[in-house]
Structure 1
């Protein structure tokens, strides 16, 4: 059984990680240990590089917190080009996989508040009345009428970031 450390305690992210690992390695193939670690970037990262840096930092910090794991996984959400997206970084003792998620264009009314310094999650909670929306369906769930959720989009990115770990072409 793979010991996987999630560099977050966010249920939407943990669900995506668990689903992706089970899809690639088989049901019941992993145990997720969630740990809250710092990203080293602002609460609301801007741009692809700052967001990826946050995910990489979380993996480093998760490895320090739980050094005996097989995999360390971080998902960092950010805003770039008026859209929200995330970076997924996965490391084992010998490899790293990274993938960027799909993007969701954000409405001007939301972007205005985020540009003023508020983080997307709290802005979306204010807009929708859904408490801690970032731990649930997220902006993606709201703006796609539930066709996609934060977790479902993260799931795809985790699958992509796992490619180097199970595909011999990468070795």
Structure 2
């Protein structure tokens, strides 16, 4: 059984990671441990580079906190060119896998508040009345009428980031 350390306590991220590992390695193949670590970037990262840096930093910090795990996983959500997206970074002792999620265009009314310094999650909670929406369906759930959720979009990116670990051609 793999010991997977997730650099998050966010249920939507943890569920996506757990489901992706089960999809790739089989049901019951891993034990997930959640740790709180810093990203080294602002609460609301802007741009591709800052967002990926946040995910990479979280993995580095998770490795320091739990050095004996089999995998370390981080998901960092950011905003770039008017859309929200995430970077997934996964490492084991030998290699790294990274993938960027799908992007969701945000309405200007939301973007204005985020550009003014507010994080997307609290802005969306205020807009929708859903407390801690970032730990639930997220903006993507609201703007896709529930057809997609944060967890479903993260899941796809985690599966993609896992590809170097189970395909021999990457080694």
Same fold (TM over 0.5): yes
Q: Which runs of structure 2 are paired with 1:37-116 in the superposition (5 Å)?
A: 37-116=37-116
**Cα distance in 1, alignment partners of residues 125 and 66 from structure 2:** 32
State the Cα distance separating 1:8 from its structure 2 match.
0.3
Which consecutive unaligned segments of at least 5 residues does structure 1 have?
none
In structure 2, what is the equivalent of residue 128 of structure 1?
128
Q: Secondary structure at the match of 1:16?
A: helix
Which consecutive unaligned segments of at least 5 residues does structure 2 have?
none
Q: Secondary structure at the match of 1:162?
A: helix
User: Structure 1 residue 147 and structure 2 residue 147: aligned?
Assistant: yes
**Cα distance in 2, alignment partners of residues 38 and 145 from structure 1:** 32
In structure 1, what is the equivalent of residue 29 of structure 2?
29
**Cα distance in 2, alignment partners of residues 32 and 9 from structure 1:** 11
Flag as ranges the 4+ runs of structure 1 deviating above 2 A: none
Q: Secondary structure at the match of 1:102?
A: coil
Q: Secondary structure at the match of 2:98?
A: strand
**Cα distance in 1, alignment partners of residues 65 and 15 from structure 2:** 21
CA RMSD, 1 decimal: 0.3
